[in-house]
Amino acid sequence: MRPSDIPEIRALRLFKSMSDSAFEALIQAAYLQTFPAQLELIREGDPADFLYVVTEGRVELFARANGREATMGMVHPIGTFILAAVLKDAVYLMSARTCQKSKVLMIPAENVRAAFEADDAFARAIVVELASCYRSVVKEHKDLKLRSSVERLANRLLRYHADQGANGTLELPYDKRTLASLLGMTPENLSRAFNTLRPYGVQVKGTEVTLSDLDGLTTLAKPNILIDDRTS
């Protein structure tokens, strides 16, 4: 199957405003590949050779320094990484590895930069995409800077609960080590935070979490649209 035959890719916000000819030129040298779980796709410090589009599976973005490693984010279908490095013809600031068997479209970086120069609609879409990424980073930074670890966990549980139907239970989408890293915590701190939330109706059994006092948990979490809204 050619990449252009996958409607989800064509409908991606980054590409949907492009003309058919510009889109075909962009992905003419792209290829779709399936990778096994736990395979490192890119390494921080390496030059940005491709723009990656996750079409199936999940990819973890992470970084290392001074013997430490932290999860920076997760890319789900249909999502791209790492656009800024590709546009700047710079090195990757993060590494990426598959969390599970994943299918990834790889678009040569030079094609992306050529399309940016040649197609006004694509250039505008890139500006909007990068603006959205910037706002997401600011919200994540505010979450880390302005909330305690317990408040961060409480708000994340409320988010997962809403995403999964708001029926009083939720399934943690990641293992606890990864969740802790996403929240800027150690696994030990995450365990203590879950214990702190017990009086607020949070019960954990494996990866299943029951929320029996949503009002109490919400009062503790104090959700803030300027941090938690992912739509703007």
What pLDDT digit, counting tens, does each position of 1-38 carry?
566 667 888 888 899 889 888 998 999 899 999 999 99
- What's the total number of domains in the chain? 2
Q: What is the pLDDT of residue 1?
A: 59
Q: Say yes or no: 74 and 169 in one domain.
A: no
Q: Say yes or no: 164 and 135 in one domain.
A: no
CATH of the domain at 184: 1.10.10.10
Q: Say yes or no: 104 and 180 in one domain.
A: no
CATH of the domain at 135: 2.60.120.10
The answer to whether the CB of 166 falls within 8 A of the CB of 211 is: no
pTM of the model: 0.90
Q: Say yes or no: 183 and 84 in one domain.
A: no
Given 122, 144, 166, the domain boundary residue is 144
Domain limits at 84?
3-144
Q: What is the pLDDT of residue 7?
A: 80
Burial (0-12, 13-18, 19+ Cβ within 10 Å), 170: buried
**Ranges under pLDDT 50 in the chain:** none
SS3 165: coil
Within 10 A of 16 (CB to CB), how many other CB atoms are there? 12
Q: Say yes or no: 116 and 28 in one domain.
A: yes
* Mean pLDDT rounded to a whole number for the chain: 94
Q: What is the pLDDT of residue 126?
A: 95
Q: Say yes or no: 131 and 40 in one domain.
A: yes
Q: Say yes or no: 31 and 74 in one domain.
A: yes
